[in-house]
């Protein structure tokens, strides 16, 4: 993608396109969701190995991440449901840690990452819904 010279915008009084700003923001949100989900999955897959509960939690994160972003044609129409499932899954994981998790630096760090993950997934969903509503007008 060709980058535009900022001076060209100053010459004609224009601003960078809003679609470029949207795509950069969307890419940052998506990157955050991917990294935080992979972090949560890695922690749960390695924590107390071979405890099946933690292994299943980590695999659940990886499955939902794949369902959300991989170009699987059968899942594309269901991405909104997958997004809400990931939000619920991470929220349940957070609540279970609050009730019975170990209060360690790793526990706090992972939970903080999951809280941010929920926020980013909600934000991404709102941005997509607002964009689709604006396009249907």
pLDDT tens track for 27-54: 999 999 999 999 999 999 998 778 899 9
Q: Give the domain extent around 59.
A: 25-135
pLDDT tens track for 88-125: 999 999 999 999 999 999 999 999 999 999 999 999 99
48's torsion region: left (phi>0), alpha (psi -120 to 50) or beta? Answer: left
Tell me 71's DSSP state: -
In angstroms, how far is CA 137 from the centroid of its own chain? 27
Smallest CA-to-CA distance from 114 within 82, 78, 86, 73 is with 86
Domain total in the chain: 1
């Amino acid at each position: 993608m060709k980058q535009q010279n900022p001076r060209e915008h100053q010459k004609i009084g224009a601003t960078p396109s809003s679609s470029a700003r949207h795509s950069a923001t969307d890419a940052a949100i998506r990157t955050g969701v991917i990294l935080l989900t992979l972090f949560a999955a890695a922690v749960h897959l390695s924590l107390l190995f071979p405890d099946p509960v933690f292994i299943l939690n980590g695999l659940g994160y990886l499955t939902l991440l794949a369902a959300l972003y991989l170009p699987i044609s059968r899942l594309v129409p269901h991405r909104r449901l997958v997004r809400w499932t990931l939000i619920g899954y991470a929220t349940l994981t957070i609540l279970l840690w609050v009730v019975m998790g170990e209060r360690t630096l790793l526990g706090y760090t992972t939970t903080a990452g999951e809280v941010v993950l929920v926020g980013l997934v909600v934000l991404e969903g709102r941005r997509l819904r607002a964009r689709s509503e604006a396009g249907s007008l």
